[in-house]
Structure formats: C-alpha cells, structure tokens
Amino acid sequence: MFVLETDRLLLRPWRVSEAAVQHEMWTERDPRVPPHRRIRADGHPTVEDVEGWIRDGAPPGSLGLPALEGKATGDVIGYCGLMANKHGQEDEPELAYELLRRAWGQGYATEAAGAVLGWARESGYRRLWATVRDWNVASLRVLAKVGFVESGRVEKDAVHGDSLFLTTEL
C-alpha cells in the first residue's frame, strides 16, 4: 500500500467506504466548473459510481489521486496527487488536488502538494504541470507556494473561465 506522510496528513489509497467523501466534493464544486465535473441532472455520478472508481484504483506504479487523511482526526478531507497529462506533455504528469470546503484555508493543499512534488522528484520526474481556471485564486496561490509558474499557455473559455497552464521544474 502506497502512503505519503506529512506533519498533519496521510496521503493514501481511497477506501470504498469513503466514496461519500468524494461525492461530497462533487456536490461542493463551484458552478463555473464545467458540467462534466459536476453532478448531472440525472444525479450522476452517484456514490455507487464513485465506489466503482475507487475499486478500479490507480494504475500500478503511479501515485494517482490519493485520499488526504488528517492524522489528528482520521477524517478524509480531499485528494492530492498526479494524473496523466492530457495536454500533450507526455511523461510530465499533472498535479491535481481538491479539498472539502470545510478544510479550505488551513494549508492542507500546500502541505499535500509539497509531499507530492517530493515524491515526483524522487521518482525521476523532471517537470510537472497544473491547469487551473483563472478565477480560482486560492489554487493559484497554492501552486505559487510550491513553485509553479505560469507557462504562458492559456485555453480560452468564456463560459467556465480560461484555463491557465502552470509548470514547475523538479
């Protein structure tokens, strides 16, 4: 079982019993988030859908998007990890994180992202990417704190906000 540890967090595989936590993150997403990343009118994804995703798990040898468990409470508050880069930079994965609203503003995203960057460096990655909507100021601050800079690439989206592409050298 793959686990990263920080002062306050364990980054570890999701448990099927925690599907409701992931589902809650879907329900809390900002209305500007594109529809394919929000709960649809038909109620999908459901908690049962999320349970299936957890059963499928991360590919072997990858970090995936592990759960963030608070060491003091044992509560899962979000996820942070690496996912395949779908924007053309092969072998340069994308950092992704999301926290429940009740965990915002406490430094957890920065702490978890720092641990993931350390893992990526030790695993031989040379560069990571992150994409974030221009309106997501909190995520832009987290990325800046862990060393990401804007690459100059922007995908315009008048409906959901422009996607900014950030990168960091490891």
Model confidence band, residue 163 (pLDDT cutoffs 50, 70, 90): very high
Tally of domains within the chain: 1
How big is the CA angle at 67 (ends 61 and 73), to the nearest 5 degrees? 140
Contact 94, 116 (CB under 8 A): no
Contact 168, 117 (CB under 8 A): yes
- State pTM to two decimals: 0.92
Identify whether 136 is part of a domain: no
What is the Cα 122 distance to its own chain's centre? 19
d(CA 130, CA 22): 20
Identify whether 167 is part of a domain: no
Identify whether 169 is part of a domain: no
Higher local confidence (pLDDT), 58 or 32 = 32
d(CA 125, CA 109): 21
Identify whether 170 is part of a domain: no
Determine the average pLDDT of the residues in 16-26: 95
CATH code where residue 24 lies: 3.40.630.30
pLDDT of residue 28: 96
- Domain hosting 39: range is 4-125
**Collapsed DSSP state (helix, strand, coil) of residue 122:** helix
pLDDT of residue 58: 61
Identify whether 153 is part of a domain: no
Tokens representing 145? Answer: 């704190």
Tokens representing 152? Answer: 């100059």
Identify whether 108 is part of a domain: yes
Model confidence band, residue 88 (pLDDT cutoffs 50, 70, 90): confident
**Is residue 107 pLDDT above 90, yes or no?**
yes
**Is residue 61 pLDDT above 90, yes or no?**
no
**Is residue 124 pLDDT above 70, yes or no?**
yes
To the nearest 10 degrees (0 to 180), the angle between helices 108-122 and 137-145 is 50
Identify whether 149 is part of a domain: no
Identify whether 156 is part of a domain: no
Determine the average pLDDT of the residues in 137-158: 97
Tokens representing 158? Answer: 């008048």
d(CA 116, CA 120): 6
**Is residue 81 pLDDT above 70, yes or no?**
yes
27-45 residue pLDDT tens: 999 999 999 899 999 999 9
pLDDT of residue 56: 86
pLDDT of residue 69: 98
As a whole-number percent, the residues of the chain with pLDDT over 90 amount to 85
CB proximity list for 35: less than 8 A, separation 6 or greater: none
